[in-house]
Amino acid sequence: MDLDLIRRVYGKGATVYDAVFGPLLERGRRMAVEAANATGARSVLEVGVGTGLSLPLYRADIKVTGIDLSPEMLARARKRAEDLPNVQDLHEMDAQAMSFADASFEAVVAMYVAAVVPNMTKLFQELRRVCVPGGHVIVVNHVAAETGLLGAFDRMVAPATRAMAIRSDLRLATVVETAGLDVAGIEDAGIGGYIKLIRFRNRPPGN
């Protein structure tokens, strides 16, 4: 996968994303925002904000910033945010190389991004960097079945899904190991456990 492929895929899908993936991924989306709201954070970065389906769900007192790689998706998010004064900025930006200063946000939410970025290690390096020490990093993503027929199916379709800018064979253990963060909790978040919500706490620099 590369950034140009991701831009093309999501640019073409922007007009149908809400109808197709809105209902399918709703539970995980709501759980991620509820987790962010419950932290007490006053500033939140949403990585992979897409068309902004999650934006109305945040507490009104949270200052929300969002980023996405697709300008077409962001155009729809900006329209959705017009009546949401707590949404501060929506930027076109690569999650693997963000322009924010260190420790800019008290919580960072990454929804359905880990299986899309070309380099998940760089993604988590950036999530750790822009989150305050001791802050909250909330990740929701599809993970592959570990065993059985579903596991075999995930591995079999992995080459095809990569052509669609999705990594279908991403394992939960890989996400946790790559994150470099302290796990605060893992919950099922939809599609029979295929989607997981992982709550992390950021570590102080050097830990």
Residue 206 lies in a domain: no
At 92-106, the pLDDT tens digits run 999 999 999 999 999
pLDDT band at residue 13 using 50, 70 and 90 as cut-offs? low
Report pLDDT for 170. Answer: 84
The CB density around residue 139, as the number of other CB atoms within 10 Å, is: 27
Range of the domain at 125: 3-201
Report pLDDT for 153. Answer: 42
Q: What is the CATH number of the domain that holds 106?
A: 3.40.50.150
22-36, 49-63, 145-159, 189-203: least confident range: 145-159
Residue 37 lies in a domain: yes
Residue 150 lies in a domain: yes
- The mean per-residue pLDDT over the stretch 153-169 comes to 47
Q: How many domains does the chain have?
A: 1
pLDDT band at residue 18 using 50, 70 and 90 as cut-offs? confident
- The mean per-residue pLDDT over the stretch 75-83 comes to 96
pLDDT at residue 159 greater than cutoff 50: no
Residue 119 lies in a domain: yes
Report pLDDT for 162. Answer: 44
Residue 155 lies in a domain: yes
pLDDT at residue 57 greater than cutoff 60: yes
73-87, 125-139, 155-169: least confident range: 155-169
Residue 207 lies in a domain: no
